[in-house]
Amino acid sequence: MAAVIIGSGTYAFARSRKGCVEMGKYIVEGQARLQGELRVQGSKNAALPILAATLLTPHSVVHNCPNLSDIGAASNILEYLGCRCSLEEGTMTVDTAGCCRDDIPDNLMREMRSSIVFLGAIIARCARARISMPGGCELGPRPIDIHLSGLKKLGVSIRDDYGYLDCRAEHGLHGAKISLPFPSVGATENIMIAASVARGDTEIHNAAREPEIYDLAAFLCACGGKVQIDSSGTVYVSGVERLQSCEHTVIPDRIVAATWLSCAAITGSRLHLYDVEPQHLTACIPMFEEAGCELRAGESTLDIVSPRRLLPLRMVRTMPYPGFPTDAQAPFMAMCALSSGTSVFVENIFENRYKHAGELCRMGANIKVEGRVAVVQGVPLLHGAKVECTDLRGGASLVVAALAAQGDSEISEIRHVERGYEDLEGNLRSLGAKIKKVEKSGDIC
């Protein structure tokens, strides 16, 4: 692990260097019963657009910011643009006084898919931006044309320059009525951020309705912005001349919470979660109950008691919020691999999100994939194996499965997991799991 200084703070995350790469893996001894309590970290998917929006403020303090490699990537972008950032004990401070650039180089854009959310903020601050296409997990096409179409309606001209996007708002940004063809979370966020300082009013119809959208709206309002979301999910933004400095606390991460619950469910364990928002898990909780788990929700707590063997899930269909989240599909599939019957998954968001299925089969799972449908026939036993993380949530599913498997599992390419889970191995060890992280340095020629 490399210690990276960001402003006055220290941020630790895996980082490549020329000629050398930091590689790590998890070693998991399965079939340990879990018990205890965990605090749910701040939401990665809420923190990233908020960090982009800090570009429009003089100074921002963002609490409950998780210590993740994706957060490090966002901080690297902010520092490249000239900002000063520090992350200390879950609080990210961003000072934009020195912001002097309007471009993001290719190597920084490729670190994560969410880097595209900086586009609206840079244009709103500088009236121009030049970026390359974003990177991140390979989950199939995630076209950014919805982002670009929305920004064009706000007055942005965009030219594709051999893999770079050259964007300008020569006459400034102005409000517009925008109807999204699909409720894209990233496009909604980009438009919201840019519209917050545009002239006039903006309406976003068929906007994404995820909790992270509401958290971004709360941040913008705390900065003096004017954002409202009606009962149908339509977003109304009245542009202001400038945003002010503010403090904001990021919401809990609902996908991390669902992952911890999956770990408890597959191992027949009890678990108490705190600093969680049960209302954000309304699509997941009934699935755990269908699998035979007992759940009890408090105001900011969630308890689960799991049976010795799970029941199958008849049908899991991923949908935009408030439907079942695509990010929870992989951990739930790992659960169902040890159920007492057949479960069916239908992936409606990304067309290449079953890469983890093949790795689960290496552990003895019985999964058949055909296009967007995966049929999981539960087996009585999984066995330890050498497997490789294919993406963030797919990697989490391998950890879930390894916890219940007989024998030892070796999970490599855990850099994917570290994009979204803060101290995964430490948290699981605190519950009694037998998991350790092994670091390995190697040269790349």
- Phi and psi at residue 380, to the nearest 5°: -75, -20
270 is in an annotated binding site: no
The neighbouring-strand residues paired with 317 are: 346
Contact assessment for residue 99 and residue 83, using Cβ atoms and an 8 Å cutoff: yes
Question: For 308-372, where are the E strands, in sequence order?
Answer: 316-317, 342-346, 366-370
Contact assessment for residue 325 and residue 258, using Cβ atoms and an 8 Å cutoff: yes
349 is in an annotated binding site: yes
Residue 80, both tokens = 């490249």
Q: Which residues contact 205 (CB under 8 A, 6 or more apart)?
A: 177, 178, 179, 180, 234
> Which ranges of 2-138 does DSSP label H, i.e. alpha helix?
44-53, 69-81, 106-109, 118-126
44 is in an annotated binding site: yes
Spatial distance between the Cα atoms of 69 and 66, rounded to a whole number of angstroms: 9
How many CA atoms lie within 13 Å of 419's alpha carbon, on the beta-carbon side? 25
45 is in an annotated binding site: yes
Contact assessment for residue 213 and residue 185, using Cβ atoms and an 8 Å cutoff: yes
| Amino acid letter for position 333 | M
443 is in an annotated binding site: no
Catalytic residue among 85, 99, 137, 246: 137
Known catalytic residue at 137: yes
Contact assessment for residue 213 and residue 229, using Cβ atoms and an 8 Å cutoff: yes
Which one, of 111, 99, 116, lies nearest residue 184 by Cα? Answer: 116
Which one, of 368, 348, 342, 347, lies nearest residue 357 by Cα? Answer: 368
Please enumerate, by residue number, every residue annotated as part of a binding site for UDP-N-acetyl-alpha-D-glucosamine.
Answer: 113, 327, 349
Binding site, residues? 44-45, 113, 327, 349
- Provide the annotated active-site residues: 137
> Annotated binding site for phosphoenolpyruvate, which residues?
44-45
